Amino acid sequence: MTATGLGDLLLELLGLLCVTGDEGPIADWLERRYAGEHVERVGHSLVVGTPDPRRPTVLLVGHTDVVPPTDADRIPRRDGDRIVGRGASDMKAGLAVGMHCFEDPDLRAGRANLLLVAYAGEEGPHEGNELGPLLDAVPALRAAALAVVLEPTDLTVQLGCMGALHAEAVFTGRAAHAARPWQGENALTKAGAFLTGLHGRPAEDVAVDGLVFREVLTATQASTASARNVVPDRFTVNVNYRFAPDKTLAEAERRVAEMLSEADDVIVVDRAPAGRPRRGDPLVERFVAAAGAPVGPKQAWTDVARFSEAGVPALNYGPGLTAQAHQAGEHVPEANLVIAGEALARFLAHGLGDYPTAS
C-alpha cells in the first residue's frame, strides 16, 4: 500500500467536486468503475459487492458529497506532504482508503465479506441523507456485523456519535414605528437575557460506556422579519443542541424545550439521533486492537447513528483531520492515507480471528 497510489486515487475523487445535491457525476463514475461488480444504486448512492451470508459482512462506508469549495481548495493538488482539495479530509480521504481495501483481492477473499457503501447527502439536512433509503433498500446492510464509517478522526478510533437537534426559539412582541418604540414591544431585545445566558452556558460532560461526550447548546442563526425602522414583533434564534448518546430523540426534544423555556415558542426544525458507542461489541473490540490507535468519543454527528438505529455495530475511523473539515484550503497529510489503509487491512486480514461465520 503506497502513499502515491492512494494519493492519486484521492486526487481523482477530489476532481469530482459533488457539492451536496450534485452527487450524480460521482455516482455515475463509481458505477462505471465497478461495472464488473454487483452494484445496487438508490438515487445517487451505491452499495458495491455481493452479499455472502457465509461470512460476516463488514461495511466500508463513505459519503460522496462535500460542502461548497473555497478558492483555496477548489483545485485539487499535492502541496508538499499534503493533498489539498475540497473534501480532502471530510471525507474523500476515507472514501479512497475504503475503495482501496475493497479493491484488494486478498482482502476480498478473506474472512470478511466486504461491501463498499458510497452515499449522497450527508452534508445536508438529515432527511436528505441517502443512507436511510439505502438501509431500507438493501437488506444486507442491516445484517452486517460491523460498519466502519471512514469519517475524519485524526487516525483515532472514535466510538458512538453525538445527536444533533436544531430548534427555533421564537420571541414575540408588538410592532411599532422605531420613532415611537413605546407603542410596541421589541421582540429582539426581549431575547437579550436569554442570549446572554446562552453565550455563557458551559459544555456539559456526559459519560457513556466510559467515554465522555460534551453536550453543547449553541445559537447559530437569528432573524427578524421587520424593516429597519420597525420595532420587530418576532425574533427567531436557531439553536443547535448536540446531545450525548444516553438520550433518545424524544428525550433530547424534551430537554431542549426545558432549556429554551424563556422563549414564547420552541419549534424543532431538524433532528438526528445519537449513536451508541457499542464499546463491548466483539468486532468493535477487535478493530480497536488491530488498529492500535487511541480510542475516544465522536464529538460530532455521523452516520454511526443510522447504523445504531438499524442495530448494526459501527465505529468511526479515518485518515482525515477533524480540524480541517469545512475549512478553507482543506487538506489531509498523504501519509495518513497509508496509516489508515494499513490499519483497516490488518483488521480485515487478521482481526476477525475466530469470529463466527454461518455454517
Q: Write the DSSP string, 274-315.
A: -B---TT-HHHHHHHHHHT--EEE--S--THHHHHHTT--EE
pLDDT in tens, the chain (359 residues): 566 799 999 999 999 999 999 999 999 999 999 999 999 999 999 999 999 999 999 999 999 999 999 999 999 999 999 999 999 999 999 999 999 999 999 999 999 999 999 999 999 888 899 999 999 999 999 999 999 999 999 999 999 999 999 999 999 999 999 999 999 999 999 999 999 999 999 999 999 999 999 999 999 999 998 899 999 999 999 999 999 999 999 999 999 999 999 999 999 999 999 999 999 999 999 999 999 999 999 999 999 999 999 999 999 999 999 999 999 999 999 999 999 999 999 999 998 888 877 54
Kindly report whether the global pTM for this prediction surpasses the value 0.85: yes
Measured between alpha carbons, how far is 264 from 341 in angstroms, rounded to an integer? 52
What distance, in Å, lies between the first and last C-alpha atoms of the chain? Answer: 33
Q: Which residues contact 254 (CB under 8 A, 6 or more apart)?
A: none
pLDDT of residue 285: 95
Whether 155 and 319 have beta carbons less than 8 Å apart is answered as yes
- Residue 134: C-alpha distances to residues 46, 55, 119, 207, 236 (Å): 8, 21, 8, 32, 35
Range(s) within the chain of domains with CATH label 3.30.70.360: 163-272
Range(s) within the chain of domains with CATH label 3.40.630.10: 3-161+275-351
Whether 306 and 135 have beta carbons less than 8 Å apart is answered as yes
pLDDT of residue 1: 57
Instruction: Please tell me which residue in 23, 90, 104, 122 is annotated as part of the active site.
Output: 122
Angle at 321 between CA 301 and CA 333, to 5 degrees: 155
Level-2 CATH architecture, domain 3-161+275-351: 3-Layer(aba) Sandwich (3.40)
Hey, how many other C-beta atoms are within 10 angstroms of the C-beta on 100?
23
Whether 253 and 165 have beta carbons less than 8 Å apart is answered as yes
pLDDT of residue 358: 58
Which class would CATH give 163-272?
alpha beta
| Per-residue burial over 114-140, b = 16 or more CB atoms within 10 Å of its CB, e = otherwise | bbbbbbbbbbeebeebbbbebbeebeb
Task: Establish whether 334 is a catalytic residue.
Answer: no
Phi, psi of 162 (to 5 degrees): -75, 150
Measured between alpha carbons, how far is 46 from 147 in angstroms, rounded to an integer? 15
Measured between alpha carbons, how far is 251 from 244 in angstroms, rounded to an integer? 11
pLDDT of residue 3: 64
Instruction: Please tell me which residue in 65, 168, 330, 334 is annotated as part of the active site.
Output: 65
Strand partners, 148: 60, 315
Region of residue 184 (left: phi > 0; alpha: psi -120 to 50; beta: else): beta
- Which cell numbers in the block locate residue 81? 506532504
Task: Establish whether 122 is a catalytic residue.
Answer: yes
